[in-house]
Amino acid sequence: MKESPRSNAEQAGPAPEPVLGTRARIVRAASLLMQRQGYDGTGIKQIAQEADATLGSVYHFFPGGKQELATVAIDHGDREFAEALGAALGDADDPARAIADFAVSLADRLAESHWVDGCPVSTTALGSVGRLPDVRSAAARAFGHWREVVSGALAEAGIPAQDAHELAHTVISTLEGAELAAQVSGSREPLEIAAKHLARLVDAYR
Amino acid sequence: MKESPRSNAEQAGPAPEPVLGTRARIVRAASLLMQRQGYDGTGIKQIAQEADATLGSVYHFFPGGKQELATVAIDHGDREFAEALGAALGDADDPARAIADFAVSLADRLAESHWVDGCPVSTTALGSVGRLPDVRSAAARAFGHWREVVSGALAEAGIPAQDAHELAHTVISTLEGAELAAQVSGSREPLEIAAKHLARLVDAYR
DNA sequence: GTCTATAACGAGATAGAC
DNA sequence: GTCTATCTCGTTATAGAC
């Protein structure tokens, strides 16, 4: 069960990335591939190949099969995005500007990936709404976490709790929708405009 | 090629819905199923069954196979949503209120369908961004059409063209994102809050 | 235009040696 | 924990009778 994450590369060379265990590599590959191709568009064999693991290892760590893998992949994307969001908004005294900058950084990442690496949750979640309850609820938790990060930052900047709660909803919704529009149209424009409008909206509540 | 759309039900009884030809039934079924399950989650056999057609008929009308079917389905959803949007914003002297009401009506439709009937384009488009260029560009056209409807209504209400263009981007992005969030969380809240914030944002530009 | 049968392939999942 | 072989089923797509 437990693996030493440093079984090789022991003498701490300049290698920046830690050596991932098999389970972690599988999770990372599943998250990345499902982010790009969705649940049905991603095969378990493809995940195993991308993770440099065998099919047997995948089912060893995830006996629940593809569904379990999908929920774990969404949890992974949840944490990843929450950290980025927290880092961007954490100690900002001007949350409106911080949110706008974060939206532009999403456009940067998206353009770098040629518009394929969008939200790590929405693609997987959308196609499985009425069909895979565990996947759907994992996605709902993720959205909730992200709203908490935004709402906390807004409250810390002096915005009343109820306003902060509602603004957090619209900030996350608009970022999601603008990222989707940017992917589909292959353009930074939706996210850049969303940055401007979200800043204006947040500032109206101070 | 051409079919009489009234080959039966000739005496114009009180039947409200027109009799659809085979091709139209296939398009409608494909649009509905891909809206719910995405491109990869929807099988051609399932489409044929839902449309009361045979597999042979599907390939007769759509020799390009699943890809062609998907682009036609997106075009269908495009027109459908553009009409609803146009009806809601067409002759409104208060576009901010009209947009808010429309967002709430989206929440109504979503709740009625138990959160499965979301945007007729985004689910199909998202999973195919880096993989099916024809599908992606059909989705991009749809988003463009919808923005034109919004931007036209805003311009007619006296908002300068550049502001109207940018607002249309955010209106569509936010509606998309809020609908996605509502589906995932099984709640009207994202769309109801988006309605309020979009109205406030639009009013700030008058 | 509609229907059935089937080809060709890949999917998710399992078994069991090592 | 890892690997390979395999089972079973469903998929897209095609062929050809009617």
Residue B15 is predicted with a pLDDT of 63
Task: Please tell me which residue of chain B has the smallest CA distance to A188.
Answer: B169
Rounded percentage of chain B residues whose pLDDT exceeds 70: 93
> What would the two tokens of residue A70 be?
């999908």
* A116 in B contact zone (CB under 8 Å): yes
Mean pLDDT along residues A25-31: 98
Other beta carbons less than 10 A from residue B73's beta carbon: 29
> Does any CB of chain B come closer than 8 Å to the CB of residue A186?
yes
A125 contact residues in B (CB cutoff 8 A): 180, 184
| CB proximity A183 to B under 8 Å | yes
Is residue B196 predicted with pLDDT exceeding 50?
yes
Architecture of domain B73-203: Orthogonal Bundle (1.10)
Q: Cα–Cα distance between A113 and B157 in angstroms, integer?
A: 39
Report residue B18's pLDDT band, with 50, 70 and 90 as the boundaries.
confident
Look up residue B188 and give its DSSP letter. S
Mutate to test the interface with B, among A35, A129, A188 (most CBs of B within 10 A): A129
Of B21, B19, B143, nearest in space to B81 by CA: B143
Cα separation of A160 and A162, whole Å?
A: 6
pTM of the full predicted structure?
0.94
Does position B172 have pLDDT exceeding 70, yes or no?
Answer: yes
Kindly list the residues from chain B whose CB atom is less than 8 angstroms away from the CB atom of residue A176: 176-177, 180-181
CA distances (Å), origin B175, targets A112, B55, B63, B69, B181: 26, 36, 35, 26, 10
pLDDT tens per residue, range B175-188: 999 999 999 999 99
The residue to which tokens 């039947």 are assigned: B15
Which nucleotides of chain D have an atom under 7 angstroms from any protein CB? 1-5, 10-17
CA distance A66 to B179: 26
pLDDT digits (tens, 9 = 90+) for A170-183: 999 999 999 999 99
What pLDDT score does B91 carry?
Answer: 82
Is residue B158 within 8 A of residue A159, CB to CB? The reply is: no
Domain residues of chain B, as ranges?
73-203
Count of A-B CB contacts under 8 Å: 175
Reading the block at residue A164, the tokens are 């902060």
- By C1' distance from the Cα of B3, the closest nucleotide is C1
Report the residue of A121, A174, A198 to disrupt the B interface, i.e. the one with the largest count of B CBs within 10 Å.
A174
Cα distance between residue B68 and residue B72, in whole Å: 6
Q: Exposure of A63 by Cβ count < 10 A (0-12 exposed, 13-18 middle, 19+ buried)? A: exposed
Provide the pLDDT confidence category of residue A13 given band limits of 50, 70 and 90: low
Give B125-162 pLDDT, tens digit per residue. 998 999 999 999 999 999 999 999 999 999 999 999 99
- In this complex, the nucleotide whose C1' atom is nearest to the CA atom of residue A67 is C12
Q: Which nucleotide is nearest to B62 (CA to C1')?
A: D13
Q: Do A180 and B127 touch (CB under 8 A)?
A: no
Is the pLDDT assigned to residue A142 strictly greater than 50?
yes
Per DSSP, helices labelled H in chain A are 22-37, 44-50, 55-61, 65-89, 95-112, 122-126, 133-156, 161-185, 189-203
Whether the pLDDT of residue A1 is over 50: the answer is no
What would the mean pLDDT of B85-109 be, rounded to a whole number? 96
Measured between CA atoms, the residue of chain A closest to residue B180 is A126
